[in-house]
Every structure is written in C-alpha cells, then in structure tokens.
Chain A
Amino acid sequence: MLAYILRRIFQSLIVLLAVGFVAFAMFSFVGDPVDNMLGQERTQADIERLREQLGLDQPFIVQYWRFLEQAAQGNFGLSYRQGRPVSEIIAERLPATVELALVSGFLAFIGGVGLGVFTAIRRHGLLPSFIMTASLVGVSLPTFLIGILLIYIFSVELGWLPSFGRGEVVDLGGWTTGFLTASGLKALILPAITLGLYQMTLIMRLVRTEMLEVLRMDYIRFARARGLTEKTINFRHALKNTLVPVITITGLQLGSIIAFAIITETVFQWPGVGLLFINAVQFVDIPVMAAYLMMISVMFVGINLIVDVLYFAIDPRLRIERSVGGH
C-alpha cells in the first residue's frame, strides 16, 4: 500500500511539473516581460540590466527552476493590470470562492444523496419520475442559463434575493465571510444553487443507480429475512455500501465545481477567484492566469491523491486484493 501511495505522489509531482512548465511557458512566450516593465524611453543598457536582474540571461532550465522555486513560495510577481502582487489579490478573492464552493458542494451532496435514496426506494409514482425527468433537463441546461433563469425568477420577478455581489461581509483577520450577515447569506443562495445543481443531479443519479444495485444483493434479502425495519435496511446497510463510489465521484467533482464557479461567479458578479481569472483572460493578465492555473492544479492533483488514498481507507476489499496480489 505504501508503494502504491508513493507511486501516486510521484505521478502527481510529474503532473504539477508539467503544469508549471505550461505556466512558465506562458510567461516566456506571451509578451516580453522587459517590454512590459520598461517604458517607452529605454536604452539597450536598461534592457540588459533588467534582463540580468530578472535572470532572463540565464539558460532556460535555470529560469524554469527559479520559477518553480518562486511559485512554490506563492510568489507570481505583479499583476499586469492592477500592479499589485498576485498572491495578495488572490488571497483577497479566495474566501468568496471557498465559501461559495463549500455551500454548493454541501447542497449538492445532501440534496443528491437524499433525492437519490428517495427515487431508489420509491421507484414508481409521480414524484420520483418527475424528479428523474427534471434531473435530465438539469444535466442538459448550461450553467449560465440556470443562473440567468434563477435571477429572472427570484430577483427580477419576485424581488426576493439579490442578483449580484456578496452582500455585506465581515472581516475576520484577513478572511472575509458572508456567513455572519443576513444580506451575505441571502446573496449566497442563488449562486450556491446555480453552482450545485449540476453536481446534485449527477450525485442523485449515481446514488440511485448504486442503491438499486445494492438493494438486489443477497445481504439485503438476508437483512429483510432477519426482520430488520426498512429504515435500518435502507440507511444502515444499503446506503453505507453505496457511499464509496459516491465519495469518489464527489471528490473528483470538486474540480469541476471550481471550473463551474468561474461561470457562476461571472453571472452573479461574485467577487471570487473565478471572476478574477476570467477578467485576467479578457485582459491577458499573464501572472494572474499562471497563478490561478498553478493553484487550481495543486488543488486538483491534491484532491485526486486524497480520493485515491481514501479509497483504501474506506473499502477494505481493496486492501486485501492489493496485498494478495502483491502489488
């Protein structure tokens, strides 16, 4: 098992090096940093001096190493657009995105598991089949249209919820939170639903399929024969055994939550890192793009790694197979 984990860590590092290379290549080939930093009136000596200062006269591989060293310390230089350190800007924007992702992930998981179990236990009837049809539509609707639809219903027509921004936020030593004010919580509702809906339908369909499979197993029939209540059978025995694939998929979905957050944040003008990234793409702000890319990939690779390791922790069958197989 240790060898397996080590191999996975090694693979993750390779992926990160590759992504780092892409980010570095962006810096080197898209625009000339010297051009960006020196004004119109520059001499050849200025250029030479700055090149030496920035280490641009070094061989490619040395520059790449330096870039990685700096990136590992969270240093991506100054934003071309705002002229402030990228790390500072991201730190400022991060709480908004993290809170949004957490709430919508929570919504998606609770809603998805609940509806999945419900539609699996009651397979026939009007409500379950309605939910299944609605979930199909939910999967095919583009995220930004869901957002617009929600804004139209709840902000324009009903006027219940705000259509943009985070509302009032409270600063807790550098971490701004919208959890503590009424307007902050209200502003969170629509974006969280928009972001969580797609994941919710995915989780729901997955839980339903897995539940139907598990409910056909012998041990469920045995539990029935023992006279256990439906509640115990469904939740203690069946649901527990459907959770392994659900947790894997949910973990992997965290990545796409981040990607969809870009869309949701744009629709709702939510001041998070996703909106920062899309603005950076619009204005070709390379340092911000590179930093976002590195941050996202560290997160993705980390999540993948944790999910893989969790697999071992949750499912004892895997451990046995591995040790018997001698891998």
Chain B
Amino acid sequence: MSFFVVVSLIMGAIFAPLLAPYDPFDPATLNLMNGFTGPLTPNQFTQDVFVLGTDDQGRDVLSTILFGMRISLFVGFSAVFLAMILGVILGLLAGYLGGWLDAAIMRLADVQLTFPSILVAMLIFGIAKGVTPAEFRDQVAIWVLILAIGLSDWVQFARVVRGATLVERQKEYVQAAQLIGRANLAVMLKHILPNVLNPVLVIATISLALAIIAEATLSFLGVGAPPTKPSLGTLIRIGQEYMFSGEWWILFFPAITLLALALSINLLGDWLRDALNPRLR
C-alpha cells in the first residue's frame, strides 16, 4: 500500500510536465480571471473547471502540486544522498583508521547532535545566503537548501557506519585482505563498504521522509525554496494566507500531499528495516 502511494507520487512528480493539465510557471497560460476558482466548480468569469481549484494568480493547484512535489523530492533525494556520501565516508574513515581522526570526527558528530538538525540547516542556509550575491539567491536557493539539509543530517550515517565498520574490521576476510597487501582504501571500499550498506539503506529511507519534512518546514518558514520555484512547503506557506478568507483548497491539497508523501515513505522505511533484518526473516 505505502509502496504503491510512494511510487505513484514519485511517478507523478517525474512525469509532472506530461501529467499536469497546465504549466504553472508559464505566464502565457495563466489567466488572472481564473484566480480563486474552487475545486471542480466552473469559474464565474471564464467557466474554466479545475480539478483542485486555482490559487490567487489563477494557477492550477493540481499542476503546482505536481511541480512542487518534483522540487520537494529532488531536494529530499539530493540532500539524503549528500548526507549519505558524507556520513559513509567519514564513518568508514573513523571506524577503520581510528586514532585521532576517529576522535575528531566523532566529537564533531557529538557537537552537531547537541543541536536539532533543523536549526543547523537554518543556520547553514542563512550563512550561505549571506555569501551569495543578492541577484543569484533565488537561483541557488534550491542548492543551498540541499546543502543545508544534507550537512545537518550526516551524523546518523557516520555513527552507524562507524559502528558496523568497527565490527567488520575484526573479521577474518578483512585481515586476509590486509595480509595480501591491499591498500587501506581498497579494503575500505571493496571489502567493508558492501557489508555495512544494509543499515545505511534503512537510515536513508527514514532520512528521506525527514528531509522532505525539513525541506517543507524551511520553505514554509520562508528560508527555503523561493516562490518562483515553489516546493510543497512554499505552496503551504502561500495557501496559509488564504485560509482565513475561505479558500481552503490552496492550503489543503498541498498539505495532504506532503503528509501522504512523508507517511508512506516512513512506512516504507519500516518495511525495509524488517525486510533487511536477518533476525526477522
């Protein structure tokens, strides 16, 4: 069930340009007269019908959600990928080489763990915004967001990989590889890495749900995806302004989509954890 939801949402996001009835970012297709059209009710001026209604500028809500989900998922996947690469590398180094490097990496992880990751992400976003010139800010905002969430989330991966590496390092196949003279790098990448990947996959799915929520939260707070490239969080931020005047659909549909996405990925992560756990098989 959750698998089905995730796949259909991801498919919807990937094929957004084909599926979406309108291109919400092409001003030529927009008609301001269509603003605030309710779901499935014809607009009072143009008689156009929109499945999920339109927002203040007459953009089709279904289309903005499909395109917004694209940005949310892109940011989520990229941020988790970044966190994973960083965490796995640092975890392998710390676990395999040990010594002062291990101490330094793990201390850094401890310090970062003292602070909630959303706070770290906000801070990174703020600093990155400060060092980019004003005219590029909207263009790089998505990448800054990926960087901020990715850097705030590597600790989990590093800790797990370090723990698993410490165990694997003692095993005979690693000693054998060392004895036949393979370099440290080769031992780490070719021999240890494949054996510590299972938990990494599980954490990655859980992190994905968290990253999508983190992205939505940051965008909602106005420190994420800009209104020109709205993600689900930005759409909710826009929709919130119209909640008081009765245009509930602008807020409701993006919020439900975000919930469905986060919940189903979470459930998928639970399933993956059970499936990869040899004790439960």
Enumerate chain A interface residues (CB-CB to B < 8 A): 15, 18-19, 26, 29-31, 140-145, 148, 151-152, 155-156, 163, 255-256, 259-260, 262-263, 266-267, 277-278, 280-282, 284, 286, 289, 293, 296-297, 300-301, 304
Q: Which of B115, B130, B251, B258 contacts A296 (CB 8 A)?
A: B115
Residues B221 and A266 in contact, CB atoms below 8 Å apart: yes
Instruction: List, in ascending order, chain A residues with CB within 8 A of B221's CB.
Output: 144, 262-263, 266, 278
Contact indicator B255/A281 (Cβ below 8 Å): no
Encoded as 1 (CB less than 8 Å from any A CB) or 0, chain B from 90 to 118 comes to 00000000000000000000010011101
List residues of chain B with CB within 8 A of the CB of A297: 114-115
Are B130's CB and A30's CB within 8 A? Answer: yes
Bound-complex Cα distance A30 to B217 (A): 25
Contact pick for A145, options B130, B223, B258, CB 8 Å: B258
Knowing A26-B127, A29-B131, A278-B221, say if A301 contacts B259 (CB, 8 Å).
Answer: no
A148-B125 CB under 8 A given contacts A140-B263, A296-B115: no
B259 touches A141 (CB 8 A): yes
Q: Which of B122, B126, B251 contacts A284 (CB 8 A)?
A: B126
**Distance, CA A304 to CA B113, complexed state (A):** 12
Minimal beta-carbon separation of B105 from chain A (angstroms) = 14
Once A142-B216, A143-B217 are accepted as A-B contacts, the answer to whether A156 and B243 lie under 8 Å apart by CB is: yes
Of B115, B131, B236, the residue contacting A300 (CB under 8 A) is B115
- Contacts A15-B111, A140-B262, A263-B217 given; indicate if A281 touches B240 (C-beta within 8 A): no
Which residue of A is nearest B252, CB measured?
A152
Instruction: Determine the distance from Cα of A163 to Cα of B244 in the docked complex, in whole angstroms.
Output: 10
Would A31 and B266 count as touching, CB distance under 8 A? no
Q: Which residues of B contact A29 (CB under 8 A)?
A: 131
A-B residue pairs in contact (CB < 8 Å), sample of 12: A26-B127, A142-B216, A142-B217, A148-B255, A259-B115, A262-B119, A262-B122, A262-B221, A281-B125, A284-B130, A300-B115, A304-B114
Contact A142 B116 (CB under 8 A): no
- CB-nearest residue of chain A to B108: A18
* A145 partner residues in chain B, CB cutoff 8 A: 236, 255, 258-259
Min CB distance B216 to A, Å, is 6
Residue numbers in A under 8 Å from B123 (CB-CB): 281, 289, 293
Q: Whose C-beta in chain A lies nearest to the C-beta of B122?
A: A281
Question: Shortest beta-carbon distance, B221 to chain A, in Å?
Answer: 5
Shortest Cβ-Cβ A-B pairs, 8 listed: A30-B130, A259-B116, A281-B126, A284-B130, A259-B119, A256-B116, A142-B213, A144-B220
Contact of B258 among A19, A142, A259, A278 (CB under 8 A): A142
Identify the closest chain A residue to B251 (Cβ). Answer: A148
Residues of chain A within 8 A of B122, CB atoms compared: 262, 277-278, 281
Which B residues lie within 8 Å of A140 (CB)?
Answer: 259, 262-263, 266
Q: In the bound complex, what is the Cα–Cα distance between A303 and B193 (angstroms)?
A: 37
The residue on B at minimum CB distance from A257 is: B116
B243 and A259 form a contact (CB under 8 A): no
- Please report the number of residue pairs spanning A and B whose Cβ atoms sit closer than 8 angstroms: 93
B222 at the interface (CB under 8 A from A): yes
Is the Cβ of A30 less than 8 Å from the Cβ of B131?
yes
Min distance, Cβ A201 to any Cβ of chain B, angstroms: 15
In Å, the complex CA distance between A277 and B118 comes to 13
Q: Does B129 contact A (CB under 8 A)?
A: yes
A301→B111 CA distance, assembly (Å): 10
In contact, A300 and B222 (Cβ under 8 angstroms): no
- In whole Å, how far is A257's beta carbon from the nearest beta carbon of chain B? 9
A293 neighbours in B (Cβ, 8 Å): 123
| A142: B residues at CB distance < 8 A | 213, 216-217, 258, 262
Complex Cα distance, B131 from A310, in Å, reads 42
What separation, in Å, do the CA atoms of A293 and B124 have in the docked complex?
A: 12
For B125, the chain A residues whose CB sits under 8 A away are 281
Q: How far is it, in angstroms, between the C-alpha of A136 and the C-alpha of B263 when the chains are bound?
A: 10
Q: When chains A and B are docked, how far (Å) is the Cα of A296 from the Cα of B119? A: 10
A280-B259 Cα distance, complex, nearest whole Å: 29
- If A142-B216, A142-B262, A156-B244 touch, whether A259 touches B118 (CB-CB below 8 Å) is yes
- In the complex, what residues of B have CB within 8 A of residue A282's CB? 222-223
Interface string of B198-234 (1 = CB under 8 A from A): 0000000000000001001100111100000000000
Query: A262 to B127, alpha carbons, bound, how many Å?
Result: 18
Given A140-B266, A259-B115, A301-B114, 6 further pairs, Cβ under 8 A: A15-B111, A144-B220, A152-B248, A262-B118, A278-B122, A281-B122
Tell me which residues across on chain B come within 8 A of A30, comparing CB atoms.
127, 130-131
Measured CA separation A73–B262 after assembly (Å): 44
Residues of A within 8 A of B111 (CB): 15, 18-19
Within 8 A of A (CB), among B244-259: 244, 248, 251, 255, 258-259
Min C-beta distance of B227 to chain A, whole Å = 13
Chain B contacts of A141 at CB under 8 A? 259
Which residues from chain B contact A300 at a C-beta distance below 8 Å? 114-115
- In chain B, what residue has the closest Cβ to A289? B126
Residues of chain A within 8 A (CB-CB) of B216 are 142, 144
